[in-house]
Each structure stands twice: as C-alpha cells, then as structure tokens.
Structure 1
Amino acid sequence: MDRLVTPYEGSGHRPWDDSAEVPAPLHLHQTPVSSRWVDYNGHMSESCYLRVFGDNSDAFFRYLGIGEDYREGGHSLYTVETHIHNRREVAEGEPLVLSLRLLDHDAKRLHVFHEMRHGETDALLASAEQLLVHVDIARGKSSEMPPELQQRLATIRRSHATLTTPDVVGKPMGIRR
C-alpha cells in the first residue's frame, strides 16, 4: 500500500541553535506546482493547497527539532483544525513560496499561520490558519511537549510577536448578513 510522503520525510531535523536569530516569519518551504496537483479547471486543486501547507508544517517541525526520531519516541504533532483562504489560482509549474508564523502556543498546542505566495510575483495565493496539538501516540491523547521544545517555541514566538496578526485569523466562517 502506498502512503503519503512529505518532501522532508527521512531528512531528520536541523539542530537547534540557541544563539541563531529566528526569522519573522519563517521561510522554510518552496515548491513548483506539480502536474499531479492540477485539476480539470487547469489550476491547483483545493486539496493540494492543504497538502502544500502540510509540507510547510513538516518543514517547521524539522526546524523545531521534530523528525522521525521524535515520532519513533512516541510523540508527534497532529492538526486539530485548519482554515484555508484561497485567494488566486495557480497553474502547473508555477513557483510557490511559503511562510509560517507562530501566533501562539502553550504546553500542548501551537497556533500557526501560513502564507502561500507566487515565487515570481509575490502575489498572495492562499493562507491557512492551523491549530496543532502535541500527542502521545501510544495513548492517543494530547500531552505536554518536552521543555526544550517549549523553550524553542517561546523563542520563535518572541520573534514572531513583532508581526501584525493577519485580519483573517480567528474569524468564523459564514454568510455575513
């Protein structure tokens, strides 16, 4: 049986450097639009926007220090909720550049915001707001992250606190009357 593989699978994670400056926002993932992601309308299918945002999350996990060895140790981050805002169409081969900002975190959860931009024009193509939870895989329950991950998140959050919160964050979906 084939399973979904991210571009970063098998790459481990980068070592954390306490003295390194944390970019605000982070730019960890870029990719061209794959021909497999293009639908009958000739542009990237809606499900593939989520796939690309998921790959961006995976790049962030590895930046944070979460790779295969961490999962083999029995813990991971799972997505609890995602809100995607599609802004523009994008076609096969066009370059995608993603950013990620950490909006908030606590001992068990992360609130992140992704932006997908065109790699040549910088046009905003889509954004995604996600809530992630740290889990004990064997127990199937949320669990607190180890202190070193919480400290890294606090460092990232301090850097990202300088960024303006996008106006779509925390907005409910519905028909405005």
Structure 2
Amino acid sequence: MLVHPERNPMSRLTTPNEGKPFAGWDWSKPIPAPLAFHRTPVIEAWTDYNDHMTESAFLLVFGDSSDCFFRYIGIDEAYREAGQSIYTMETRIHNRREAHIGDPLALTLQLIDRDAKRLHIFHTMTSEADGAVLATAEQILVHVDMQAGRSSPFPPDLAERIAAIAAVHAVLPLPPTVGVPLGLRKK
C-alpha cells in the first residue's frame, strides 16, 4: 500500500466505504441514470456556529458520493495499492439551501463527459425530507499512475465500464449550472 511510513493511517480522513472492495461488474444489471449510491444524515461535526452544515462538509459529502462511484466502477483499495487512482482536478459547489443536524441527505451522480484519462461528473444533493436540492457539485477528475506521478489512460476494463455509464447517462438533461462561468452578474 502506498502509505507514508511516518503517517498513522488511523488518523487520516476516511470515507464511509473505506475498505469495501469492488463488488465486480454485472453487465446484466441496468445502470442507474443518474447513479444514486450515497445517503447520509447530517452529523453534528459537520455543522458550524450558524448551526448549519459547513461548506467544507458539503465537499466532504460530495467526496463520499464520488467514492461510491469509484467503487462501483472498480477503483478501490486494491486498485490504489496497484498504483493507480483518480484525483480531483477541479470542483465547483453551488449551495442552494441549508442543512441541519439530522437532516437526511440523498446524493446522485451524473457522468457528463469523459475521455481517455478524465471524467466530468455532476452531483446533486437533495433533502430526503422534501426532495429540495440543497447543493450541487461539478467536478473534473483525472486517472493517475501514482508511481509515475502523472495522468494515465483508464485501463480497458475500466474504460469499458465508464463508456457503458456514459451511454446510459447521455439521455439525461444537462444540469443548467454545468460549465457556467463564475463571476458577479453586471446589472
């Protein structure tokens, strides 16, 4: 495993699925559109002095949703121990509503685009209580050869699974905030 010898693995941030291996790909099962693998309640540690979920906690929960996706397509601890992973290149979060301790969250993930080395994904976080969209996150991810320290193409089996998801997700509407420039609107 690629771990710094001076670092205690128990002291690092983990995901809820840490240690859960890739379950294998079943080509006979339908691919959800969008993917919906992550649900969680807001915990007290994620809240701030305003008594609602912090901006960093939104990113944490979106990251946990990404981890569910990674494990679905075959990227788990064994994959990383073999020297490959996915790194985040860019993330943009749109906060829509507050979330408070105990609020039940449901996340979906849509594969927007892909190429030989990169993925463009879109998360939606909703309240399970009323279905309201609380936040969205748009991300660009890159496949990395950790030994070489640079991007690398997805291996054929992983690329094939990603292509299957992309084909199913191609019929989904493009979320309205995808690719929208950041800035102040002039009046």
Give the TM interval when normalised to the shorter protein. over 0.9
Unaligned runs of 5+ in 2: 1-7
Instruction: List aligned pairs for 1:104-119, cutoff 5 A.
Output: 104-119=113-128
**CA offsets 1:71-98 (integer angstroms, 9 cap, x no match):** 0000000000000000000100110000
| 1:26 alignment counterpart | 35
Give the letter aligned to residue 53 of structure 1.
F
Q: Deviations over 1:118-142 (max 9, x none)?
A: 0111100000000000000111100
Letter in 2 for 1:118: S
2:168 corresponds in structure 1 to 159
CA shift, 1:168, in A, is 0.1
For residues 155 and 120 of structure 1, what CA distance do their matches in structure 2 show? 32
1:68-107, aligned counterparts within 5 Å?
68-107=77-116
SS at match of 1:88: coil
**TM-score normalised by L of structure 1:** 0.98
Determine the C-alpha separation between the residues in 2 that align with 1:169 and 1:14.
Answer: 31
1:120 and 2:109 are equivalent in the alignment: no
**Alignment match, 2:3:** none
Q: CA RMSD in A?
A: 0.7
Q: Give the match for residue 55 of structure 2.
A: 46
| TM-score (norm: length of structure 2) | 0.93
CA apart distance, 1:174? 0.3
2 CA distance for matches of 1:140 and 1:48?
A: 28
**Aligned partner of 2:134: which letter?**
L
Number of residue equivalences: 177
Shift of 1:63: 0.5
Match of 1:7 in 2: 16
Match of 1:136 in 2: 145
Structure 1: stretches of 5+ with no match in the other structure = none
Q: Percent identity of the aligned residues?
A: 56
Which of 178, 181, 187 aligns to 1:169? It is: 178
Matched residue of 1:56: which SS?
helix
Structure 1 runs of 4+ off > 2 angstroms?
none
Answer yes or no: is 1:148 the counterpart of 2:148: no
